[in-house]
Chain A
Amino acid sequence: MGVSIPLSQLDILASSFAASKDDFDPQFLGSKNFILLQQISDLVIPRTDTPGAIDAGVHIFIDLMLNEWASEETKVKYLAGFKGINNMAIISFDTSFVDCTTTQKISLIESLDVANAKLDNDSQIFFRDLKWFIISGYYSSEEGASVELNYDRMPGKYQGCLPFSEQDKAWSS
């Protein structure tokens, strides 16, 4: 499955990049990598009628995780991974990732987002891990877990067989 972002979303992407990059000083990533992370986070989980990854602060969360949670090995892996994606942009489009057009960014990410069985280069493997970091960061955030999905703090008695309609949302945990 490829990337599909309706055109109407592209403006939102652009505006959300602009909105938050000045608000926060990354603790681990340099500003270029942080913007790169922010842009990829937005491509993976964009804002729709519900919050997206940036609204949930996923890029800030990942920067914090890299700073405080990650081992040295993981830190090195992420820096190398971001560099790899940037290099791909330079080779393909003659400019750094963050300065690519949205279409170029999507096409680049599309080339990295492959099924597990088809992984065949470091950037693809890195993207798989980064994508999971973004997804898990989002759906365990308050916005992702309790606005996008439903979170039930105190469910009470378990009920095993309730009606579910197409309008209903999944439990986040």
Chain B
Amino acid sequence: MNSDFDAIVVGSGISGGWAIKELTERGLKVLLIERGPETIHGEDYIGEGKAPWELPYHGAIPEDTLSKEYAIQQQCYALNDATKQFFVNDHQHPYITKKDKPFSWIRGYQLGGRSLLWYRQSYRWSEMDFAANKLDGYGVDWPIRYRDIAPWYDHVETFAGISGSKEGLEQLPDGQFLPPMEMNCVELEVKKQIEHQFPNRSMIIGRCAHLTEPTKEHLELGRGQCQSRDQCERGCSFGAYFSTLSATLPAAKRTNNLTILTDSIVQSVIYDDTKKRATGVRVIDAITNERKELNARIIFLCASTLGSTQIMLNSRSASFPNGIANSSGCLGLNLMDHIFESGASGEYPGFKDKYFKGRRPNGIYIPRYHNISSRDERFLRGFGFQGGGKRPSWKRAKSMPGIGVSLKEQLRKPGSWTFNLGGFGEMLPDKRNRVWLDENLKDKWGIPVLNIECTLRDNEKRMLKVMSEDAREMLEASGMINVQPYNNSAPPGLAIHEMGTARMGHDPKTSVLNKYNQAHDVPNLFVTDGSCMASSACQNPSLTYMALTARASAKAVEMLQEGKL
């Protein structure tokens, strides 16, 4: 393999996919390095379209396999026999947490990364979110504001295909949307009641990366319309949801500027103390263990929040004894996730003569309403709700006594309408939530494993309590009966929105990256995945990673052309 690459992109998930697209389309020769195996769009979606009875064990993973190989990954709703090839084997990919401080690190090591597995909710951040750190003093000020990223949201939404409704909400800006998905009758009723009884709240259909009406650009990439199968995590050969494999990878490939290296683990970034530049990466062949160095003019780390930080911490040199670009000492600090698993569910007594068709891979969204126009004394920042209404299937029998003909007759009908509201809340940046390399334990390739320590603090705990109370209140106000509030303590990480640990900021003394996701200390090193986040907001973060990556890619090419890198 020749080593004359303009850019190396590490990681092929949502962020890496955007980096290769934007860099190759601007004429750069790009090497994409993925630690997992190649995945072929369509061909490798082995469970796609299969009915439960067509799957081994009707889709259940054998119990011993589950406990030995997926001890952590099994906490993720999307793991089953048809998707397990897209999740890491926990046994082979260890990390360390303290016993009383669990952190669920859900990972997918393959070409496409977790872009194959994500839940596809896509929300913009607003001005309020980028200003939050400065306003209340938690974390460092974001070096960008909404106006800096807005055109890039436009750019990524148009290409990815985001379905949604325009709402004119200050805290959740509208974007370039494909037609919204439909709400069902109960959702429409709940929306009406909530918006009537709580004037500063609204309920909208979820904004999601699904093609409800593909454009010419989507069709040209071989993508097609969503068929409401709701088996997205098995892979979708229609390319109806956005993933690296359905969208950014084919876009990058058609430039003929892309080279892909799979089964190749980046151990560290090489730094030249004289040139004061990153010159390449050290790579280990995941299968043969062969080691080599690959060089390029610029490096983009898109290996996921903790993946990129682990690589940087492991990139030690005379100039950076504690990890590349870590003169601030901030690398590894301020890990965040979203807090969730708090909300309420209830039953709706009406609409017995109404039903739905299709498995909508999307729900409803209640955008944040606390701490917007007035200050809530109970907690800082805010949360939104995801959820929706449905008529439960036979699965409700799990808690039903009864057998025989009467049970069978009951289960032939759908259950009464039920409705769930589950909060997703902002976690404050806190330097005590952090990762670091272990001094002793190494993985099978000799790379020091991560220690992860992340716990919820008072603000998060207070917010979780209010989430559940608010959800109960809204469901009761909407005419629900048997409303059950819940506040389960999910381990951090399980929202799979882990972010932070290489944050952006104005000041090289307190942050790792500048406003273009460029390392303060190493001008030709860019980090554009979730690790760059200076705060977490409460919106699902992937769309923001896409926009930041596209923006950073454009800037990197510009600087490269100007001879600044």
Contacts and interface: CB of A to CB of B under 8 A. Distances in A.
A142 B182 contact: no
Given A69-B60, A146-B51, A162 B357 contact: yes
Contacts of B352: 164
Contacts of B397: 132, 135
A4 B404 contact: yes
A160 to B, nearest CB: 3
Contact of B356 (A132, A137, A149, A162): A162
Contacts of B395: 136, 139
B408 A45 contact: yes
B405 A153 contact: no
Contact of A160 (B356, B400, B404): B356
Contact of A155 (B58, B358, B407): B358
Contacts of B63: 69-71, 73-74
Contacts of A146: 51
Interface in A68-90: 68-74
B394 interface: yes
Contacts of A109: 403
Contacts of B57: 65, 68-69
Contacts of B62: 68-71
Contacts of A5: 404-405
A155 B357 contact: yes
Q: Which of A48, A70, A140 has the most CB of B within 10 A?
A: A140
B181 A6 contact: no
Interface in A122-173: 131-132, 135-137, 139-142, 144-146, 148-149, 151-166, 168-173
Contact of B228 (A72, A139, A157, A166): A157
Contacts of A136: 58, 395
A151 to B, nearest CB: 6
A74 B357 CA distance: 37
A53 to B, nearest CB: 9
A53 B445 CA distance: 50
B412 A44 contact: no
B51 A151 contact: yes
B47 to A, nearest CB: 13
A70 B414 CA distance: 30
Interface string B37-68: 00000000000010111000111101110010
B225 to A, nearest CB: 8
B60 A152 contact: no
A140 B497 CA distance: 32
A142 B185 CA distance: 30
Interface residues of A, number: 64
Contact of B53 (A1, A65, A132, A142): A142
A36 to B, nearest CB: 15
A155 B403 contact: no
A114 interface: yes
A4 B405 contact: yes
Given A4-B405, A160-B183, A152 B67 contact: no
Interface residues of B, number: 52
Contacts of A131: 403
Contact of A137 (B58, B182, B353): B58
Contact of B391 (A2, A9, A70, A170): A170
Contact of A153 (B49, B59, B67, B403): B49
A63 interface: no
B71 to A, nearest CB: 13
B97 interface: no
B510 interface: no
A45 B402 CA distance: 10
A166 B352 CA distance: 9
Q: Which of A1, A157, A162, A173 has the most CB of B within 10 A?
A: A157
A164 B402 contact: no
B408 A46 contact: yes
B187 interface: yes
A132 B354 CA distance: 28
Nearest to B394: A139
B508 to A, nearest CB: 49
Given A163-B353, A164-B355, A171 B182 contact: no
Nearest to A118: B401
A170 B394 CA distance: 8
Given A71-B67, A158-B228, A1 B355 contact: no
Interface string B359-374: 1100000000000000
A117 to B, nearest CB: 10
A158 B408 contact: no
B394 A44 contact: no
Contacts of A19: none
Nearest to B362: A158
Nearest to A65: B57
B393 A170 contact: yes
Interface string B329-361: 000000000000000000000001111111110
A106 B257 CA distance: 71
B317 to A, nearest CB: 48
8 closest A-B pairs by CB: A160-B184, A155-B358, A164-B355, A158-B358, A140-B52, A71-B63, A1-B402, A158-B360
16 contacts: A4-B405, A4-B406, A45-B403, A61-B58, A68-B62, A71-B63, A114-B401, A137-B58, A140-B58, A155-B228, A160-B182, A160-B183, A163-B353, A164-B352, A165-B353, A170-B413
Given A1-B407, A46-B408, A135-B411, 19 more contacts: A4-B405, A44-B404, A48-B408, A68-B62, A71-B64, A135-B394, A139-B411, A141-B53, A154-B49, A155-B227, A158-B182, A159-B356, A160-B356, A161-B184, A162-B356, A164-B353, A164-B354, A170-B391, A170-B413
